[in-house]
Amino acid sequence: MTLAADREVALVDLLDRLLAGGVVISGDITISLADVDLVHVSLRALISSVSTLVEP
């Protein structure tokens, strides 16, 4: 078992909450949900080149 307090919050856990959780209100500047989904797609594409994202 690992306690989060022992280390930095993993980006992927943070993004679960920041992109799929949180209060959803439409701001004046609108970013559509479809575009937010794209973030996940590009994350997956980028993951192979970004080794720091996944903690050791």
Partner 1 sequence: MADALVYLYAVTDADAAEPAAPGGVDDAPVRRVVAGALAAVVSSVDAVRFGEEALQRSLEDLQWLERAARAHHEVVAAAAESGPVAPVRLATVYHDDQSVRALLHERAADFRAALDRVRGRVEWGVKAFAAPTADDTADAGAAPGSGDGSARPGTSYLLRRRAERDRAGTRLEAATAAAEALHRELTDLAVANRRYEPQDPRLSGHREPMVLNAAYLVDEVGGDALRELVATRADGPLQLELTGPWAPYSFAALEDS
Span 3-22, contacts to partner 1 by CB under 8 A = 3-4, 9-22
Cα gap 16→19, rounded to integer Å: 6
Please, what is the minimum distance in Å from the beta carbon of residue 8 to partner 1?
A: 9
CA 29 to chain centre: 20
Q: Residue 50 CB, nearest distance to partner 1 (Å)?
A: 6
Check residue 37 for interaction with partner 1 (CB under 8 A).
no
Whole-angstrom Cα distance, residue 28 to residue 13? 27
Q: Report the C-alpha gap between 38 and 44 in whole angstroms.
A: 10
Q: Which residues contribute to the site for partner 1 (CB under 8 A)?
A: 1-4, 9-25, 27-31, 35-36, 38-39, 42-44, 46-48, 50, 53-55
